[in-house]
Amino acid sequence: RFQKPHRMAPAEFALWDDAYAAAMRQVYRDFPDDHDVMALFVEALMMRTVRRLWDLKTGKPAPNSDVLEALEVCERSIRRSDEAGTTPHPAALHLHIHLLEMSTQPERGMRSAERLGTMCPDAGHMNHMPGHIHVLCGEYEKAKLASEKAVRANDRYLAHAGETTYYLLGCCHDLHLMMFACMLLGQYRPALWAADKVRGLATRDVVSIPDRPKLTQTVEGYHAMKSHVQVRFGRWREIIDEPMVVEPELYVLTTAMQHYAKGVAHAALRAFAAAEHERERFHQHLSRIPAERRFLSNPTHASLAVGAALLDGELAYHQGRHDEAYVHLRQAVGLDDNLSYTEPWAWMHPPRHALAALLLDQGHAEEAEQVYRDDLGLSGAVQRCAQHPDNVWALHGLVECLRRRGETDQLPGFQARLATALAKTDLPITSSCLCRTSVHSGPDCCH
């Protein structure tokens, strides 16, 4: 279609998506063995309900979603290529990953992920896509490697095309996933490298482009993600010393995240007046963010509500109001669980890691153990796409809980899994959250 001379309402775009999907369904009926047609049809079905393919709570298709039909066609394309002894269409593998990442069985996409990762060496997005499945299945090192490969390809492309194209969003997204994978791996240096590289791409010249709100607001959101890395790894002094961005009306999410991070840092260092001041500035800034402002799949206010609850919990905890702190931290967990799907998850530092660490700090090992099991996906209490299998932080906490209650049947297995995870970190892991003020040093707990 030719671009309209004026802005179109989202409802009209939705009608076009429906019409295109219906037309592609007929094309598929006419050419059922054409792999290009199959890929275009699958994508058309997916785009009718972007990031709303599955109901995260029930695991069933979301209302109005054609995900089961899309899966059938996509897997038929892959299967027919396998039967013919030919290489599957890269678009089919790509779309297969997207169809399954929100589902209760992301591991079904693992073979597609492994195959796609070697097919298109100069296509950054194709190199990145396996990371979606790897992260969901606890293969964080593989997700990191896929991200690094994508970044190298993206750098080659940007050197050719320039940095102010729409593809810049994809470049930032690939680095965003790399940050997330490295955070779950316990690898600070590459996580920080990815965060700093995003900031090098998300320059003021890009963030201030006029009449491109989708581009500029999304790029600015990526710019803000460095604060998650800093809080994850307890870089309290670096957080405090980092200058605030000077244009809060332009760097909307970055400003909020800096106030959040500085508040948590001051609370952890028991500088309570400074923490209170940052919390006040956080809420003042929050009140000026338009309700319609979004970052990816979530309203900015929904994501920052998680941060607000975490900041309240951290401040209350370090001031000695432990029961009040747990109320706030449990609220953060609930808010985080109810965010809309996006990849990586909208709040990159799992609130369960802070809640369980601070529960353990006061001897509440039974509840902490359950929180760790939920985070690791061992209980089924959390939607599949928000679980973090075999992440080093929750494994560390779970092993400590098992040792505290003298458990002997499961402990050896989890100690082995923890040892594997610890071997990949680039700094000591002493707790599931570095906001914790004491460290359990029982024999062989964590090393």
- Mean residue pLDDT across the chain: 95
Q: Would the pLDDT of 1 be above 60? A: no
What value does the mean pLDDT take over residues 258-278?
A: 99
Task: Give the per-residue pLDDT at 2.
Answer: 66
Task: Give the per-residue pLDDT at 4.
Answer: 75
Two tokens, residue 382: 């959390």
Structure pTM?
0.94
Q: What is the pLDDT of residues 346-370, one digit of tens each?
A: 999 999 999 999 999 999 999 999 9
- Nearest Cα residue to 432 out of 375, 393, 389: 393
The interaxial angle of helices 300-318 and 322-337, nearest 10 deg, is: 160
Q: What is the pLDDT of residues 135-182, one digit of tens each?
A: 999 999 999 999 999 999 999 999 998 877 889 999 999 999 999 999
What value does the mean pLDDT take over residues 71-98?
A: 98
Q: Where are the domains of the chain?
A: 135-224, 365-447
- Nearest Cα residue to 329 out of 436, 184, 191: 436
Phi, psi of 61 (to 5 degrees): -55, 140
The size of the chain, in residues, is 447
Q: What is the pLDDT of residues 237-252, one digit of tens each?
A: 999 999 999 999 999 9
- Which of the pair, 191 or 439, is modelled with greater confidence? 191
Exposure letters 272-288 (e unless 16+ CB within 10 A, then b) = eebbeebbebbeebbee
**Which helix (H) or strand (E) segment is 159 a member of?**
helix 140-161
Q: Would the pLDDT of 320 be above 50? A: yes
Mapping DSSP to helix (H, G, I), strand (E, B) and coil, where does residue 298 land?
A: strand
Is the alpha carbon torsion for 96, 101, 103, 105 positive or negative? positive
> Do residues 187 and 429 make contact, with C-beta atoms less than 8 angstroms apart?
no
Q: What is the pLDDT of residues 367-417, one digit of tens each?
A: 999 999 999 999 999 999 999 999 999 999 999 999 999 999 999 999 999
Split at pLDDT 50, 70, 90, the class of 6 is: confident
